[in-house]
Amino acid sequence: MKHYDIIIVGSGPAGLTAALYAARSDRSVMIFEGQQPGGQLTITTEVENFPGFEHGIQGPELMDIMRKQVHRFGAESSFTTITNVDFSGKPFTVTNDRDETFSADALILSTGATARWLGAEHEDDYKGYGISACATCDGFFFKDQDVMVVGGGDSAMEEADFLTKYAKSVTIVHRRDEYRASKIMLQRARNNEKIEFLENTVIQSYKGEKNNGIPKLTGVVLKDSISGETREQDVHGVFMGIGHTPNTQLFVGAIDLDDSGYVKTKPGTTRTNIAGVFACGDVQDSIYRQAITAAGTGCMAALDADRWLAEQE
């Protein structure tokens, strides 16, 4: 069984920043990159708010640079997914989807979060056939078509704005008439003449047809969230922009999670309830969830882990 000082589970800005600091502290480090190497930024386009890039940078490019920087200091990456963790003994062990087990003196959990789905009727029938949770990945397929974005936060505004590059029209469907989105992003969407707003409205179900056995979304049934009235509207694509769920299924029962499933950390630190296990990034942050805050907590996790290891030595 290969042993490392520190194993990092997850490879977004949190995990890679943790790896950078840990490797520069002369610790042996393995990063398990998981199903989406580089994390959520790899399905983003322009990142304008990561300091240091005056003119912005493409999300995938930013993550490639981070990974190269980390590898320069000797951290290793495994492009596998951890399927089992054992926090009960020392050293800790993790097993990947190739059934290989690795051990480490300290663990850093940075598995991030995943886009949420509405769960409306027939959603599963059209996922990937008109319904998507990633405008950056799938927007291109909706050239000159009418699409909807669900949600009233920054994600919804960003997705809607992005989709206007391709779509004929974009309708933001929001269940209230107040928005969580930041003023600047809401205003940007409002100023975009291709974007319309449908407030106090929810998608009740999806409608579609099959062409040669292939499903195709053709419309939605909308429900007014105040009057309860329903009506149909034709649409070719629907994009989720309703937030994220922390990727903590692997840790249920093994570590303390909060009511929403985020890993609990001791305030002001990245320490979890298990000595030697640290958490950083979106897996423990339901509030800020920015690449830069994830990177910041990644740095904290590496410093916390390094100090903890030094105390054990």
Catalytic residues: 134, 137-138
Whole-number Å distance between alpha carbons of 104 and 2: 9
Q: Binder to ligand NAP among 71, 180, 207, 264 (CB under 6 A)?
A: 180
Whole-number Å distance between alpha carbons of 173 and 210: 25
Q: Which is nearer to ligand NAP, 127 or 244 (CB)?
A: 244
Q: Which is nearer to ligand NAP, 35 or 49 (CB)?
A: 49
CA dihedral over 130, 136, 137, 141, signed as positive or negative? positive
Q: Which residue is nearest to ligand NAP (CB)?
A: 153
Whole-number Å distance between alpha carbons of 149 and 87: 40
Q: Are 222 and 234 in contact (CB under 8 A)?
A: no
Q: Are 82 and 26 in contact (CB under 8 A)?
A: no
* Min separation Cβ 112 and ligand NAP, Å: 12
Q: Are 220 and 232 in contact (CB under 8 A)?
A: yes
Whole-number Å distance between alpha carbons of 30 and 105: 12
- Name the segment binding ligand NAP (CB under 6 A); options: 23-31, 146-154, 249-257, 260-268: 146-154
* Min separation Cβ 181 and ligand NAP, Å: 7
Whole-number Å distance between alpha carbons of 69 and 21: 11
Does residue 154 touch ligand NAP according to CB under 6 A?
yes
Longest Cα pair distance anywhere in the chain, in angstroms?
67
* Min separation Cβ 241 and ligand NAP, Å: 6
Q: Binder to ligand NAP among 94, 195, 217, 242 (CB under 6 A)?
A: 242
Whole-number Å distance between alpha carbons of 159 and 72: 34
Query: Strand, helix or coil at 82?
Result: strand
Q: Binder to ligand NAP among 60, 74, 91, 153 (CB under 6 A)?
A: 153
Does residue 118 touch ligand NAP according to CB under 6 A?
yes
* Min separation Cβ 49 and ligand NAP, Å: 6
Provide the mask over 265-294, with x wherever binding to ligand NAP is found by CB under 6 A and - wherever it is not. Answer: ------------------------x-----
* Min separation Cβ 43 and ligand NAP, Å: 12
Find the binding residues for ligand NAP in span 74-103 (CB under 6 A).
none
Does residue 188 touch ligand NAP according to CB under 6 A?
no
Burial class of residue 254 in the structure, from the number of CB atoms within 10 Å of its CB (0-12 exposed, 13-18 middle, 19+ buried): middle
Residues of this chain that interact with ligand NAP (CB under 6 A) are 49, 118, 150-156, 158, 175-176, 180, 182, 202, 241-244, 289
